[in-house]
């Protein structure tokens, strides 16, 4: 089902296999559907106002956010820039063809029309609006560029060159490809691509960092785990999963703890697919797979950067965490983390909300400096490893305080990404190993899921398992790592390394934050609930001790509220004991 490089391009000999991921809050909006004349507009269900839950894209458009001034570059099998619905927004100087080594990224045409992926992706992001042509892009005034790099040997050097070329000009770089979605591959960027990604983060957008948006992959049918895909699971990429039209997960969708959020996309044949531009100057209503959702997400991020061009790559992740929403989504694995946010391995923090995102982006000041702490965990076993027996879990418990960090590191007390680096023995059926983390707040995050049995030997070698589920939690306290294994035993080599990234709360105290509406969802819900229950106690029945306790918890509540950037007035004056 998946157009895979190895099958399509028979001349591929040494290139890594990279699969294109194809086929396989909201209150009811008072916004009326815009009256565009584009023929596919009425089929763009994911943008229309009667779709529930809503991504609120039209609401953001109505406030003037349409991507103007933002450049989005697509790394793919080409972009048919002469398509009448792409040409108005096309940026040629930011485009290149690394397969043909020329300036023209037009796809290679063939009888099977297989090189249509990039053109379809480009249209979702930035097809022109109200021009009587085809569809309407999510960021219909954004500039769009194409890098042709998937139609040939996809080697480390080509990936690195493509990312490097893209980040010179692009604000947002979008990729809908990665390691083969066969449920048994563990692969990621090579040395050069890794370096290029790091450069994009540190040098792109004049040091604010390129926004790299990556599809989670289409290996759901074989239980593929996107934490075995080093592109999607990289901290530097925002990986996006799919919500189908009825709010459920897609049959091809992958689950993993590094997925940040979701956007609408195709489901099975009974559900609507995504309308967009197609090669040979045509239009399609049939775009499918996690790439389509990634394109929608990238378009929404273009609206966000238009609302605030000063945002760094970390600001954008903070904003996506805060504004995406679990409400109305149908999946079993949503849990509430230690700061009260709902998060899922499949949907991340939920469906993106364009309107909430631009609102919050507009008033957001950059987050404080990033702190990193690596905690090294040694096995006490004389053989220097942990044994994981079939069908029983191996639990490793350890404490994190600020002296746990290796030399020179500073422990963040407000987390962003958390990674666990693992090494294992070479084992048969290495796909039958799972790993979870449990934070001091009790949040459990599956960082490696069981995949399908596969009768080959392999090992995890310095592999990073990433989770975003602990965002804003405090890491101080007891952590647990739980390994499970099916069929036969496995050995986890010592040491395990837990990497904790984030910020220091005290740096946030000076952080001038202005809220747009005074609302900071989802903290608001949690905090309001707490406040209400406190206030419901009859004041007169309180003895001195109770009053003291209440005063103390009120002080904590107010300081928490300050930390959580809520500028709502908070006073404990009424509870002060008069002496
Ligand atoms: Ca060319
Ligand atoms: Ca159009
Ligand atoms: Ca995959
Ligand atoms: Ca990622």
Q: Side by side, which strands form the sheet with 444-448?
A: 394-400, 477-485, 433-438, 444-448
Hey, what are 256's tokens? 């993993």
Q: Tell me, what's the pLDDT at 29?
A: 47
Task: Tell how far the Cα of 219 is from the centroid of ligand 3, in angstroms.
Answer: 5
pLDDT in tens, 82-105: 999 999 999 999 999 999 999 999
Task: Tell how far the Cα of 197 is from the centroid of ligand 4, in angstroms.
Answer: 12
Q: What percent of the chain stands above pLDDT 70?
A: 83
How would residue 571 be classed by pLDDT, with cut points 50, 70 and 90? low
Q: Which residue has the higher pLDDT, 523 or 308?
A: 308
pLDDT in tens, 156-187: 999 999 999 999 999 999 999 999 999 999 99
User: Which of 502, 118, 93, 71 lies closest to 301 in space, CA to CA?
Assistant: 71
Task: Tell how far the Cα of 462 is from the centroid of ligand 1, in angstroms.
Answer: 38
- Ligand (nearest to CA of 226): 3
Task: Tell how far the Cα of 101 is from the centroid of ligand 1, in angstroms.
Answer: 7
Q: Where are the beta strands (DSSP E) in 261-413?
A: 261-264, 274-278, 282-287, 335-336, 342-343, 371-377, 385-388, 394-400
How would residue 443 be classed by pLDDT, with cut points 50, 70 and 90? very high
Report which DSSP code applies to 367.
Answer: P
How would residue 108 be classed by pLDDT, with cut points 50, 70 and 90? very high
How would residue 522 be classed by pLDDT, with cut points 50, 70 and 90? very low
Task: Tell how far the Cα of 488 is from the centroid of ligand 3, in angstroms.
Answer: 24
Task: Tell how far the Cα of 102 is from the centroid of ligand 2, in angstroms.
Answer: 28
CA 257 and chain centroid, separation: 9
Q: How far apart are CA 284 and CA 273, in angstroms?
A: 9
- Ligand (nearest to CA of 238): 4
Q: Tell me, what's the pLDDT at 16?
A: 64
Q: Cβ(444)–Cβ(436) under 8 Å?
A: yes
Q: What percent of the chain stands above pLDDT 90?
A: 79
Q: Tell me, what's the pLDDT at 546?
A: 54
Q: Is the pLDDT of residue 427 over 80?
A: yes
Residues 6+ apart with CB under 8 A from 237: 175, 197, 212, 213, 214, 231
Q: Tell me, what's the pLDDT at 18?
A: 77
Residues 6+ apart with CB under 8 A from 524: 566
- Ligand (nearest to CA of 44): 2
- Ligand (nearest to CA of 252): 3
- Phi, psi values for residue 102, rounded to 5°: -150, 180
Sign of the dihedral through C-alpha 368, 236, 290, 73: positive
User: Which of 323, 297, 351, 289 lies closest to 54 in space, CA to CA?
Assistant: 351
Task: Tell how far the Cα of 510 is from the centroid of ligand 4, in angstroms.
Answer: 29
Q: Cβ(497)–Cβ(376) under 8 Å?
A: yes
- Ligand (nearest to CA of 449): 3
User: Which of 162, 229, 150 lies closest to 189 in space, CA to CA?
Assistant: 229
Q: Cβ(373)–Cβ(410) under 8 Å?
A: yes
- Ligand (nearest to CA of 231): 4
* DSSP conformation letters of 516-534: SSS--TTHHHHHHHHHHHH
Compute the C-alpha angle 368/210/361, nearest 5°: 55
pLDDT in tens, 459-502: 999 999 999 999 999 999 999 999 999 999 999 999 999 999 99
pLDDT in tens, 330-346: 877 899 999 999 999 99
CA 546 and chain centroid, separation: 44
* Mean pLDDT along residues 259-287: 97
Residues in the chain: 579
User: How many C-beta atoms surround the C-beta of residue 102 within 10 A?
Assistant: 11
Task: Tell how far the Cα of 394 is from the centroid of ligand 4, in angstroms.
Answer: 27
Task: Tell how far the Cα of 325 is from the centroid of ligand 4, in angstroms.
Answer: 18
Q: Is the pLDDT of residue 25 over 50?
A: no
- Ligand (nearest to CA of 89): 2
Domains and CATH numbers, the chain: 5-21+52-363 (3.40.50.200), 371-506 (2.60.120.260), 518-575 (no CATH)
Q: Tell me, what's the pLDDT at 22?
A: 58
Task: Tell how far the Cα of 121 is from the centroid of ligand 1, in angstroms.
Answer: 18
3-state secondary structure of 305: helix
Average pLDDT, the chain: 88
* CA dist list (Å): 547 to 113, 228, 556, 574: 73, 53, 14, 10
- Ligand (nearest to CA of 84): 2
Task: Tell how far the Cα of 405 is from the centroid of ligand 1, in angstroms.
Answer: 50
Q: Tell me, what's the pLDDT at 458?
A: 95
- Ligand (nearest to CA of 87): 2
Hey, what are 493's tokens? 């080599």
3-state secondary structure of 474: coil
Hey, what are 404's tokens? 């746990």
Task: Tell how far the Cα of 283 is from the centroid of ligand 2, in angstroms.
Answer: 10
- Ligand (nearest to CA of 39): 2
Task: Tell how far the Cα of 110 is from the centroid of ligand 1, in angstroms.
Answer: 14
- Ligand (nearest to CA of 81): 1
- Ligand (nearest to CA of 130): 2
Q: Tell me, what's the pLDDT at 529?
A: 27
Task: Tell how far the Cα of 74 is from the centroid of ligand 1, in angstroms.
Answer: 15
Task: Tell how far the Cα of 135 is from the centroid of ligand 2, in angstroms.
Answer: 4
Task: Tell how far the Cα of 200 is from the centroid of ligand 2, in angstroms.
Answer: 31
Q: Which residue has the higher pLDDT, 427 or 566?
A: 427
Q: Is the pLDDT of residue 11 over 50?
A: no
Q: Is the pLDDT of residue 249 over 70?
A: yes
- Ligand (nearest to CA of 4): 3
Task: Tell how far the Cα of 274 is from the centroid of ligand 4, in angstroms.
Answer: 23
Task: Tell how far the Cα of 556 is from the centroid of ligand 2, in angstroms.
Answer: 53
Q: Cβ(101)–Cβ(173) under 8 Å?
A: no
118-122, 433-437, 565-569: least confident range: 565-569
pLDDT in tens, 44-80: 999 999 999 999 999 999 999 999 999 999 999 999 9
């Amino acid at each position: 089902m998946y157009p895979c490089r190895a099958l399509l391009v028979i001349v591929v000999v040494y290139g890594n296999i990279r699969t294109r991921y194809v086929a396989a809050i909201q209150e009811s909006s008072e916004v009326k559907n815009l009256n565009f004349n584009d023929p596919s507009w009425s089929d763009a269900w994911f943008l229309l106002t009667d779709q529930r839950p809503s991504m609120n894209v039209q609401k953001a458009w109505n406030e003037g956010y349409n991507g103007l001034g933002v450049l989005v570059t697509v790394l793919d099998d080409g972009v048919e820039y002469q398509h009448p619905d792409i040409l108005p927004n096309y940026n040629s100087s930011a485009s290149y063809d690394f397969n043909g080594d020329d300036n023209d990224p037009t796809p290679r045409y063939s009888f099977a029309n297989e090189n249509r992926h990039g053109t379809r992706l480009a249209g979702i992001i930035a097809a022109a609006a109200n021009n009587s042509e085809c569809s309407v892009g999510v960021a219909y005034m954004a500039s769009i560029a194409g890098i042709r790099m998937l139609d040939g040997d996809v080697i480390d050097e080509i990936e690195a060159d493509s990312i490097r070329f893209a980040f010179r000009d692009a604000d947002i770089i979008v990729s809908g490809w990665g390691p083969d979605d066969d449920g048994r591959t563990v692969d990621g960027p090579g040395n050069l691509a890794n370096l290029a990604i790091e450069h994009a983060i540190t040098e792109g957008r004049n040091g604010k960092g390129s926004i790299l948006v990556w599809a989670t992959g289409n290996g759901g049918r074989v239980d593929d785990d996107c934490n075995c895909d080093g592109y999607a699971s990289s901290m530097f990429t925002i990986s996006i999963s799919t919500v189908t039209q009825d709010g459920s997960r897609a049959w091809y969708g992958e689950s993993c703890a590094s997925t940040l959020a979701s956007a609408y996309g195709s489901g099975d044949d009974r559900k609507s697919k995504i309308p967009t531009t197609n090669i040979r100057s045509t239009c399609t209503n049939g775009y499918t797979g996690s790439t389509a959702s990634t394109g929608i997400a990238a378009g929404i991020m273009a609206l966000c950067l238009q609302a605030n061009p000063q945002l760094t790559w970390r600001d954008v992740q903070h904003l996506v965490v805060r504004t995406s929403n679990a409400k109305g989504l149908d999946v079993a694995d949503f849990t509430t983390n230690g700061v009260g946010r709902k998060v899922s391995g499949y949907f991340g923090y939920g469906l993106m909300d364009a309107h909430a995102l631009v609102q919050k982006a507009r008033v957001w000041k950059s987050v404080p400096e990033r702190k990193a702490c690596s905690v090294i965990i040694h096995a006490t076993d004389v053989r220097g490893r942990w044994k994981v027996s079939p069908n029983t879990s191996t639990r490793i418990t350890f404490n994190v305080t600020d002296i746990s960090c290796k030399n020179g590191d500073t422990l963040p007390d407000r987390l962003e990404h958390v990674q666990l680096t693992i090494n294992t023995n070479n084992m048969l059926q290495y796909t039958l190993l799972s790993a979870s983390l449990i934070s001091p707040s009790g949040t459990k995050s599956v960082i490696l899921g069981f995949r399908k049995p596969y009768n080959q030997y392999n090992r995890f070698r310095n592999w990073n398992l990433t989770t975003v589920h602990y965002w804003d939690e405090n890491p101080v306290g007891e952590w647990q790592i739980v390994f499970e294994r099916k069929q036969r035993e496995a050995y986890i080599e010592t040491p395990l390394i837990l990497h904790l990234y984030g910020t220091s709360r005290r740096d946030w105290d000076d952080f001038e934050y202005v809220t747009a509406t005074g609302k900071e969802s989802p903290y608001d819900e949690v905090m309001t609930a707490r406040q209400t229950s406190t206030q419901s106690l009859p004041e007169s029945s309180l003895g001195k001790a109770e009053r003291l306790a209440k005063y103390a918890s009120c002080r904590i509540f107010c300081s928490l509220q300050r930390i959580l950037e809520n500028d709502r007035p908070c006073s404990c004056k009424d509870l002060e004991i008069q002496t």
